[in-house]
Structure 1
Amino acid sequence: MSTSLKRKAPEEDEKPIKKVASTSGQEGSDGEDSDDGLQEIVDVDFDFYNPDDIDYHALKKLLTQLFSSDAELLNLGDFADIMIEENQVGTTVKVDDQKSDPYAILSIINLTHQKEKEGVKQLCTYLSNKCPRKNEALSKAVKEILSLSSTDKHVGWVISERFINMPVEIMAPMYTMLQEELKNAVKEQEPYVFEWYMFISKTYKEVVSTIDEDGEEEHQHKKPKQADSSETFYFQSEDEIIAKYAEYQYDFRFTNSEKEQAADSRRAFSDFGIAPARKLLLVHKSKFDDMVNEITKTCSSTSAA
């Protein structure tokens, strides 16, 4: 298994990815935050590596971030192990060197090929139970796909997770590499031919804030502004593109929602009118390449803007 540097970003003929660091929090002469809204452009070089043994705990942490309060319901270590063992496909992003923790991961796991792993069984059961039963056609299709019973129609889980302050521009080279690695793996007769590509997207909806105009906490019941018809927003902007290509999709809430709301880090969301959730997206193989091409094009144009 190769653990060498895949590609140093930027290359000599490319401009570095620029990260915007806000300096608006600097105090003014009166001791209050300055509202000049100044921003400083910081050039950051990102290095791309194959997942490695040293990344195990960091990958588990990124997966824990994805599943939040429900992380305890899944054996996430199984997925970290698979990404490291099958590292001919998948990319981590680091800033310092290979020994540092990854700031982002884009990889894919063949759930059908790994269906005997405890974590895979737990994940498929978890997601199947989250599918809304009122939509019988959707429920039937999703449960059939997640049963992993077909020997020739494999399901690949595309794991895309990064720290919240990572720029979306890194996704263009990452998806390009993923696309190339999948093609190479198929040529080597590795099990990377998929009928369905599965994504778990981090989403949120607007709710009534628990903080009043004076910054005081309001002890009132939080209700969505537009109930069930409220608009869904994505923490990772490229997920909006993925949703356009998804054959099947549905929103779901955390099983441990009470723990989610009780956590101090999560209370900050509800305090300011944000209710985090998740969305399952299933993209058919016939649309995968077009989806990747739009993601890479959009993320690249974002970088050039």
Structure 2
Amino acid sequence: MSSNKRKNLNTMEVDKNNEETSSSDDDDDDDGGSHPDAYKGNEEVQIDFEGRAPVDPDAQGISQLLQRLFLRAHINCNQMAELLIAQNYVGSVICQCEEDDETDDDNMVEDGTIFGITSVLNLTAKKDQPSISQLRSYLLERAGKHATEQVQQQLRELLDQEQRHVGFLINERFINIPAQISVPLLQNLQQEIDDAKAKKMKFDFGTLLLLVKFYRKEAKKGKPSEDSYTNDEEELLSERAKFSFEYSVASECDSGMAGNWLEGDSIMTPYRKLLALDANKLPQLIKDVQSYINGE
């Protein structure tokens, strides 16, 4: 999406009555970010969102969203945010609609809150960039500790080979924003990737890696564990992954409970899961996500 194009997304209704549970989730993942004022108070607030290309003033907001994903990992989120902004032909940020549709994009983004970002970074072509090198090392290190030998080998082979590039799919947003918003954002990203490939840009991916956030209600009294995904659509994507591995981040969260929180009398532990998705199947995955969200 070019910087002068904006995509009006569905109007979202945010119910503050559900915020007590949600805020516990998001606060544990939070690294200095804040919720928008529109979400304060015990009332339902209706907000219009739009997607547009990220621009320079969005850097801090994007970096904060990335920090929620990576927590205390040694990854330069500020530099990664700059990379995402620099590729202004691919990727969208979520922001609140302006009342004046004629407002210039360059003027409307000043001090605006970034509610989410959907984009992709090339882990193969950009491997010499500091933040990408750090991300690659982070993924391999976590795989070495938490993945099976087979998954470790698959990940190493993906990152080592140069012919089929690997993309890192970013699908981050505030927890209050429903999953329906992911469909137009992912559709737009797919179109932008296709356009970039047609121009011989380096977006011809064989595999997309996606790091997702979820919480696990630990098994108790004979009951099995239950997983709750921060972004609902990522539960479906987890089922479609070529391979995956997961790990707890409870020790990395800023919380008096070491990242754990309570739901009733059950402990909820924060996790991350790395998914490897077939890039050629992204259009079908988006259709599947839409059906999944609509309960079809």
Normalised TM-score (structure 2):
0.78
- The residue identity in structure 1 corresponding to 2:290 is T
The equivalences for 1:43-192 within 5 A come to 43-68=46-71, 70-71=72-73, 73-97=74-98, 98-99=108-109, 100-131=112-143, 132=145, 135-145=148-158, 148-192=159-203
Tell me the distance in 2 between the aligned counterparts of 1:83 and 1:267.
29
Query: Conserved in 1, the CA contact under 8 Å of 2:147 and 2:246?
Result: no
SS of 2:287's partner is helix
Tell me the distance in 2 between the aligned counterparts of 1:173 and 1:246.
21
Query: Conserved in 2, the CA contact under 8 Å of 1:172 and 1:297?
Result: no
Larger Rg computed on CA atoms:
1
Q: Deviation string for 1:161-194 (max 9, x for gaps)?
A: 0111112111111011011111111111111000
1:269 to 247, 261, 270: 261
Once the two structures are aligned, what percentage of the paired residues are identical? Answer: 25
Query: Conserved in 2, the CA contact under 8 Å of 1:92 and 1:104?
Result: yes
Tell me the distance in 2 between the aligned counterparts of 1:198 and 1:92.
19
Asked if residue 241 in structure 1 is aligned to residue 236 in structure 2, the reply is yes
Tell me the distance in 2 between the aligned counterparts of 1:268 and 1:285.
34
Describe the shift of the 1:270–1:189 C-alpha distance in structure 2 as closer, same or farther (beyond 3 A). Answer: same
SS of 2:269's partner is strand
Q: How many residues align?
A: 259
Shift of 1:81: 1.0
Q: Which residue of 2 aligns with 1:18?
A: 12
SS of 1:112's partner is coil
Shift of 1:253: 2.5
Shift of 1:42: 4.4
Q: Which residue of 1 aligns with 2:251?
A: 258
Shift of 1:291: 0.9
Q: Provide structure 1 residue ranges, at least 5 long, that are not aligned to the other structure.
A: 10-15, 26-38, 208-223
Q: Which residue of 1 aligns with 2:3?
A: 3
Q: Provide structure 2 residue ranges, at least 5 long, that are not aligned to the other structure.
A: 20-41, 99-107
Shift of 1:259: 4.6
Tell me the distance in 2 between the aligned counterparts of 1:47 and 1:5.
10
SS of 2:201's partner is coil
Greater strand share, structure number: 2
Describe the shift of the 1:286–1:96 C-alpha distance in structure 2 as closer, same or farther (beyond 3 A). Answer: closer
Ranges of 4+ aligned residues in structure 1 off by more than 6 Å: none
SS of 1:192's partner is coil
Tell me the distance in 2 between the aligned counterparts of 1:108 and 1:77.
16
Query: Conserved in 2, the CA contact under 8 Å of 1:203 and 1:235?
Result: yes
Query: Conserved in 2, the CA contact under 8 Å of 1:250 and 1:281?
Result: yes
Tell me the distance in 2 between the aligned counterparts of 1:162 and 1:174.
11
The equivalences for 1:193-272 within 5 A come to 193-207=204-218, 224-225=219-220, 230-254=225-249, 257-260=250-253, 263-264=255-256, 267=259, 269-270=261-262
Q: Which residue of 2 aligns with 1:33?
A: none
SS of 1:77's partner is helix
